[in-house]
Amino acid sequence: MIWETPALLFTLWLAPLTGAVVLYAHRKRAATARRFADPEMVERLMPSFRTSRPWIKAIVLAAALCCLIAAAARPRFGVFFEEVSTRGVDLFVLLDVSRSMLAEDVSPNRLERAKQDIQDLLERLRGDRVGLIVFAGAPIVQVPLTTDQGFFRIVLAEVDPDSAPRGGSLIGDAIRKALAAMQERRDRDQVIVLITDGEDHESFPAEAARDAAQRGVRIVAVGLGDQGEGARIPQTGEDGNRIFLQHEGREVWSKMDERLLKEIALITQGAYIPAQTRAYDLGRIYDDHLADLNRGEVLAEKRKRYREQFQLLVGLGLLLLLVEMLISSLPAASGAVEGSLP
């Protein structure tokens, strides 16, 4: 047996307390009556405390309250198996982990901000299968499509710039990797959420987006970073001090490439989200662009359930209350039909 609201069982102490109050009130009424009436008249008008009926009434009332309190806690017993199907979409998150994502024009930096916002997105996913691909010089499938958000969160927390090979930012290869990792389905929509600063090193992302469009896969592109001045890329020098990435003796400034991300979204009939350096909510993006997608059956399984049994206790409790009302509190009078005093 299990209880839906077991905390309510702590109120069972009210049942004996109620019974005690009933007996105390009966004793007080009898004592008051004896002050104003002859003892023989009191014995006729009120039941003597020597009889067992007041005790029986108190016990029945306490038992009725116990049943009703236990019913409110919603006991469940009796096992049955229910077939449950989960419906959702297939969604791959493509996360750029190249060194440019360490730029701090977004607090605390582009990469950490993206990880925080992916956590917000997971809060809105109910039944959807979600996977994670990180990319820089090459894409790596960190999490295949799954409904296990706990595992996804653990892996996401460990993602850093060393999670994928260095050597650039290959957006096109990441899109192709996601398409290869998603089995083509016609019973549900499939989506790619691309989070990047838009820098690409000749991986032909537009061609990859056309491949996605042919399969009906939409791409929601989220652009992080300043597209004007840009930001420097911090790193740790050989002496352990903080320095900034340099190329040919000059500091590298990373700018967000909005043009490329707009093109990818347009080709796939997806959406471009110009987050840039502002705060944004991936959960809201889900509501605006993903909530109305076609969902297919992701998982069908039989789950163990327990039957609700509070009805039995409610019925028993009401029956006991009725019995308590019918129990006469007056002693039998010779030659007369005994009356009932509630």
Q: Do you find a cis peptide bond into 39, omega within 30 degrees of 0? A: no
- CATH number for the domain running over 90-230+257-294: 3.40.50.410
Question: Please, what's the b/e burial string for 287-323 (b: 16 or more CB within 10 A of its CB; e: otherwise)?
Answer: eebbeebebeebeeeeeeeeeebbeebeebbeebbee
- Average pLDDT, rounded, for the chain: 81
Give every CB contact of residue 127 below 8 A, 6+ residues apart in sequence. Answer: 86, 87, 88, 147, 295, 298
**Whether residue 295 has pLDDT greater than 70:** no
- The tokens for 76 are 């469940």
**Whether residue 151 has pLDDT greater than 60:** yes
| pLDDT at residue number 144 | 95
pLDDT band at 304 (very low <50, low <70, confident <90, very high): low
**Whether residue 49 has pLDDT greater than 70:** no
pLDDT band at 37 (very low <50, low <70, confident <90, very high): low
Read off the pLDDT of each residue in 144-157 and give the average, rounded to a whole number: 93
Question: What amino acid occupies position 262?
Answer: K
Under 8 Å between Cβ of 129 and 147: yes
pLDDT band at 286 (very low <50, low <70, confident <90, very high): confident
Which of 82, 83, 9, 68 is closest to 306 using CA atoms? 82
Task: Please tell me which residue, 286 or 10, carries the higher pLDDT value.
Answer: 10
Q: How many CB atoms neighbour CB 185 within 10 A?
A: 13
Rounded to whole angstroms, the Cα distance separating 82 from 84 reads 6
Under 8 Å between Cβ of 167 and 198: no
Q: What is the pTM of this model?
A: 0.62
- CA distances, 198 to each of 35, 72, 100, 135, 158 (Å): 95, 57, 10, 12, 23
Phi, psi of 287 (to 5 degrees): -60, -40
Please count the helices (runs of H) and the strands (runs of E) in the chain: 10, 15
**Whether residue 75 has pLDDT greater than 50:** yes
Under 8 Å between Cβ of 70 and 312: no
Give 190-224 pLDDT, tens digit per residue: 899 999 988 887 889 999 999 999 999 999 999 99
- Pairing status of strand 250-251 against strand 271-276: unpaired
Give 235-271 pLDDT, tens digit per residue: 877 777 888 877 777 888 888 888 999 999 999 999 8
Task: Please tell me which residue, 308 or 39, carries the higher pLDDT value.
Answer: 308
Q: Which helix (H) or strand (E) covers residue 306, if one does?
A: strand 296-308
Give 104-140 pLDDT, tens digit per residue: 888 889 999 999 989 988 988 877 889 999 999 899 9
The domain locations on the chain are: 2-79+305-326, 90-230+257-294
